[in-house]
Structure 1
């Protein structure tokens, strides 16, 4: 997926693909998560695709921690590519949001799946993050 952000230079910082195996119903299957980080000036767009659950959440937590440590002005977490979202893994996003707020860094989500928005509602987190339908919308709205 390519983002069209108002800043001329977009630089891909890192792309990770992590594949693990776990048993479900007595059979092994592959789990994967892809975490890509794009940088434009002092903004970071973290794109997540695949399955976000207790097995893959530590990868996202590590990436978000690294991005917050680089002192950007904003972090946009794009969850449009998610196939599965475990409500328990939301703690990674909550923790990163709190860390961002304590450092005066804008933190928002890009999420369009009604199924995942419903999970945020059911867990009481719908209002915890600014939520946008695209990264460019988030970038424009959160720009200082």
Structure 2
């Protein structure tokens, strides 16, 4: 069994957009941190928020509680 990858969250600007780059695993343990971080970024922008998930190794259903 492999070790879980820690969640890494970074933000950068690309033109008028705010890009959130996510790496690691989004599971039951990290979903609250991910959600809090996304809500904070949404509050900071009035234009476009993009979420880059290319480096996410695991995305559990807890990441999207809607």
The TM-score by the shorter chain falls in which range?
0.7 to 0.9
**Structure 1 stretches of at least 4 aligned residues deviating more than 6 Å after TM superposition:** none
CA contact (8 A) 1:43 1:72 kept: no
Does 1:65 find its partner at 2:35? no
Q: 2:25 is matched with which residue? A: 51
In the TM superposition, residue 89 of structure 1 has moved relative to its aligned partner by 2.0
In the TM superposition, residue 40 of structure 1 has moved relative to its aligned partner by 3.2
CA–CA distance in 1 between the matches of 2:56 and 2:15? 26
CA contact (8 A) 1:44 1:72 kept: no
CA–CA distance in 2 between the matches of 1:33 and 1:48? 7
Q: 1:80 is matched with which residue? A: 54
Give the TM-score taking structure 2 as reference length. Answer: 0.79
Q: Which has the higher contact order (CA 8 A, sep 6+)?
A: 2
For structure 1, list consecutive stretches of 5 or more residues without a partner in the other structure: 1-28, 95-144
Larger Rg over CA atoms: 1
CA distances 1:6-45 after superposition (whole Å, capped 9, x unpaired): xxxxxxxxxxxxxxxxxxxxxxx55510011112343110
Does 1:36 find its partner at 2:10? yes
CA–CA distance in 2 between the matches of 1:58 and 1:40? 26
RMSD: 1.8
Query: How many pairs does the alignment contain?
Result: 64
For structure 2, list consecutive stretches of 5 or more residues without a partner in the other structure: none
Would you tell me which structure has more helix in proportion to its own residues?
1
